[in-house]
C-alpha cells in the first residue's frame, strides 16, 4: 500500500513537472513580453504546490513502510529516498534567505559584469558564499557526505572529490603540456591548408532546414519534440514533448548547426528514458555529467569527426545551396570546428582548452566552500591559475575573469565538474563503441546512426537513474572514468 501511495504521488508530481517545464520553455520562445508577470505568478504557485507535495512529512513514513517486490522497485525506492532527503534537509527559512540573496546577487552581476566592477559586486558574492557554506554543512549533516561532495551530489549523484581529484589532476598535468603541442600541430596544418572564408549570408530559414535535417539524421523523434528559437540555446520540455531551441547568425552557419547537434544530444537522452518509470526519480536523467556526455557525444565525438562531415557536407549543399561553402572539403570544415586557441571565456573555449577552465573553477570552489579561500581573494587566485594553465592573465579584467559565469552569483557550487566529466564520459563511450562496432566510422560516413543510438539506448538512456554516475559509467564502458581515454582522443584528433 505504501509503495502504491508513492506511485500515486509520483504521477501527481510528474504532472506538475510537466506543466512547469512546458510553461518555462514557452516563456523562453513564444510568450509575449506583457505575459511575464502573470507567467511568473503561475509558475511560482505551481512550484510551491510541487515543493509542498514533494516534501510532505508523511512521505517519510511511506518510504519506511514500502515493501518493493522487484529489483526495479527496490532501486526506485532508494532513489526516491535520496531525493526526499535532499529536498527536505534545508529549513524553509534558509531557502528563503538563499533565494533572496542569490536573486539579488544575480541581478547585480548582470549589471556589474559588463562594467567589470568587481569591488561593487564583492559584498553580494560574499553573502552568497556564506550561504553556500551553510548549505553545504546542512546537506553534509543530512547525507553523511563531506560538505563539497554534498553539493556536488546534487548534480552528479555518486561523484566524490576523492575520486575526481586524481582524475582531474592527471588531466590538468597532461593538458598544460598538450595545449602548446596542439597549437603547434595546428599551425603546421594550417600552413599547408589555410582556413577558408565563408560565403555569407546564410538565410535563417535555410539554416533551420539544415538543422532539422541533421536532427532527423541522428535520430530525433519529431513526434515527441520540436525546434524553436531562443536567446540562448537549450533543451527543455519533457521526454514526451522535448522543446529544443537554437539561435542563428546570417554571417556563418556552423555555430547554429553545432548548437543544434549539441541540444539534440540532450534531447535523444530525454526521449530514450524509461517511459514506464517516468513518474519516478528512477526514470529521470542521471545527473548533469551524464546529460552533458550525451550532448557532447553528438557534438564532439560525432559532429567533429571526418566521417560525420563526409555525410553532412552534401546536406549543407542541399539546404544552403551549392555555393554555400564553395570548394570546401571535409578537411576544411574540420579546420573550423576543431580550431584551438587560448582564450579567457569558458563558453567560447575549444575542446582542448575547455577542461582547464573547468578544473580552475573546481579547485577554487573547493577552497571557497572549505573556507581556505575568501571571496576577496578570488581575482588573484583566478589569475594565478589562468596564468599557469593557459598562459594568459585576467588580473585587470574581472569581466572576462571571475565575473564571467552566472554559477557563483546564483549559488550553483558543485556544478562545474559536470562539464568536463561529460566530455570525458563521451570520449569513453565512443572508445567503447568503436570496440563493439568495428564498422562504426563507415556507418557514420553513410549517415547510419542506428548502431550508435542503439548502444546508447541500451547502456545509457534506458537506465535512467538506476545507478550512480560512477556506476553507470563502469556498467556502460566496462571501467571507471579513465582520463587516459580522453587524452588518447585528443591526441588522435589534434596531433594525428
- Tell me which residues are annotated as active site: 263
Q: Which long-range contacts (CB under 8 A, 24 or more apart) does 271-274 make?
A: 271/220, 271/221, 271/224, 271/225, 271/239, 271/242, 271/461, 272/456, 272/457, 272/460, 272/461, 272/462, 273/239, 273/461, 273/462, 273/464, 274/462, 274/463, 274/464
Helix, strand and coil in the chain, % to nearest 5: 70, 5, 30
Using alpha carbons only, give the angle 405, 126, 369 rounded to the nearest 5 degrees.
80
Closest to 417 (Cα-Cα) out of 111, 205, 161, 145: 161
Residue 158, sorted as left (phi over 0), alpha (psi -120 to 50) or beta, turns out to be left
Residue 411: left (phi > 0), alpha (psi -120 to 50), or beta?
A: left
Contacts of 89 (CB under 8 A, 6+ apart): 138, 139, 141, 142, 143
Residue 154 contacts residue 83 (beta carbons within 8 Å) = no
Burial of 157 (0-12, 13-18, 19+ CB in 10 A): buried
Question: What is the C-alpha to C-alpha distance for residues 487 and 464, in angstroms, rounded to an integer?
Answer: 28
User: DSSP letter string over 219-272?
Assistant: T--GGGEEEEE-SS--EEEETTEEEEEE---SS-SHHHHHHHHHHHHHHHHHHT
Classify 478 in phi/psi space as left (phi over 0), alpha (psi -120 to 50) or beta. Answer: left
Q: Which residues pair with 225 in a beta bridge?
A: 242
DSSP symbols for 142-197: HH-S-HHHHHHTTTSTT--HHHHHHHHHHHHHHHHHHHHHHHHHHHHHHHHSPPPP
* Cβ 490 vs Cβ 176: under 8 Å: no
To the nearest 10 degrees (0 to 180), the angle between helices 118-143 and 354-370 is 70
Amino acid at each position: 500500500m505504501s509503495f502504491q501511495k508513492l506511485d500515486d504521488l509520483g504521477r501527481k508530481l510528474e504532472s506538475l513537472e510537466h506543466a512547469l517545464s512546458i510553461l518555462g520553455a514557452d516563456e523562453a520562445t513564444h510568450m509575449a513580453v506583457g505575459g511575464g508577470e502573470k507567467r511568473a505568478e503561475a509558475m511560482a504557485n505551481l512550484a510551491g504546490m510541487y515543493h509542498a507535495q514533494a516534501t510532505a512529512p508523511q512521505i517519510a513514513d511511506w518510504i519506511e513502510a514500502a515493501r518493493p517486490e522487484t529489483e526495479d522497485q527496490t532501486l526506485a525506492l532508494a532513489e526516491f529516498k535520496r531525493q526526499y532527503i535532499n529536498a527536505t534537509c534545508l529549513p524553509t527559512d534558509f531557502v528563503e534567505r538563499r533565494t533572496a540573496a542569490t536573486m539579488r546577487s544575480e541581478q547585480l552581476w548582470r549589471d556589474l559584469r559588463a562594467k567589470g566592477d568587481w569591488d561593487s559586486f564583492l559584498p553580494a558574492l560574499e553573502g552568497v558564499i556564506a550561504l553556500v557554506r551553510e548549505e553545504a554543512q546542512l546537506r553534509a549533516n543530512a547525507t553523511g557526505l563531506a560538505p563539497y561532495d554534498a553539493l556536488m551530489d546534487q548534480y552528479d549523484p555518486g561523484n566524490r572529490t576523492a575520486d575526481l581529484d586524481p582524475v582531474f589532476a592527471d588531466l590538468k598535468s597532461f593538458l598544460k603540456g598538450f595545449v602548446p603541442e596542439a597549437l603547434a600541430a595546428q599551425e603546421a596544418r594550417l600552413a599547408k591548408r589555410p582556413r577558408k572564408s565563408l560565403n555569407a549570408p546564410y538565410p535563417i530559414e535555410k539554416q533551420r532546414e539544415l538543422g532539422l535535417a541533421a536532427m532527423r539524421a541522428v535520430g530525433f523523434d519529431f513526434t515527441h519534440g520540436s525546434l524553436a528559437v531562443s536567446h540562448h540555446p537549450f533543451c527543455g520540455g519533457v521526454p514526451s514533448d522535448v522543446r529544443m531551441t537554437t539561435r542563428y547568425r546570417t554571417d556563418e552557419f556552423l555555430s547554429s548547426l553545432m548548437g543544434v547537434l549539441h541540444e539534440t544530444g540532450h534531447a535523444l537522452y530525454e526521449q530514450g528514458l524509461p517511459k514506464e518509470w517516468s513518474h519516478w526519480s528512477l526514470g529521470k536523467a542521471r545527473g548533469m555529467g551524464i546529460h552533458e556526455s550525451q550532448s557532447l557525444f553528438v557534438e564532439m565525438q560525432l559532429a567533429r569527426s571526418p566521417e560525420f562531415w563526409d555525410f553532412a557536407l552534401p546536406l549543407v549543399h542541399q539546404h544552403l545551396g551549392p555555393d554555400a561553402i564553395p570548394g570546401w572539403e571535409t578537411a576544411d570544415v574540420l579546420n573550423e570546428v576543431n580550431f584551438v586557441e587560448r582564450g579567457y571565456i569558458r563558453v567560447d573555449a575549444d575542446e582542448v582548452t575547455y577542461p582547464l577552465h573547468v578544473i580552475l573553477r573546481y579547485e577554487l570552489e573547493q577552497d571557497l566552500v572549505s573556507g581556505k579561500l575568501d571571496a576577496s581573494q578570488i581575482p588573484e587566485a583566478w589569475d594565478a591559475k589562468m596564468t599557469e594553465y593557459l598562459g594568459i592573465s585576467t588580473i585587470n579584467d574581472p569581466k572576462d575573469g571571475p565575473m564571467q559565469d552566472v554559477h557563483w552569483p546564483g549559488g550553483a557550487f558543485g556544478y562545474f565538474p559536470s562539464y568536463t566529466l561529460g566530455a570525458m564520459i563521451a570520449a569513453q563511450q565512443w572508445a567503447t563503441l568503436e570496440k563493439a562496432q568495428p564498422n562504426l566510422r563507415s556507418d557514420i560516413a553513410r549517415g547510419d546512426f542506428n548502431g550508435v543510438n542503439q548502444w546508447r539506448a541500451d547502456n545509457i538512456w534506458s537506465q535512467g537513474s538506476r545507478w550512480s554516475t560512477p556506476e553507470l559509467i563502469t556498467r556502460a564502458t566496462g571501467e571507471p572514468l579513465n582520463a587516459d581515454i580522453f587524452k588518447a582522443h585528443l591526441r588522435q584528433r589534434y596531433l594525428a
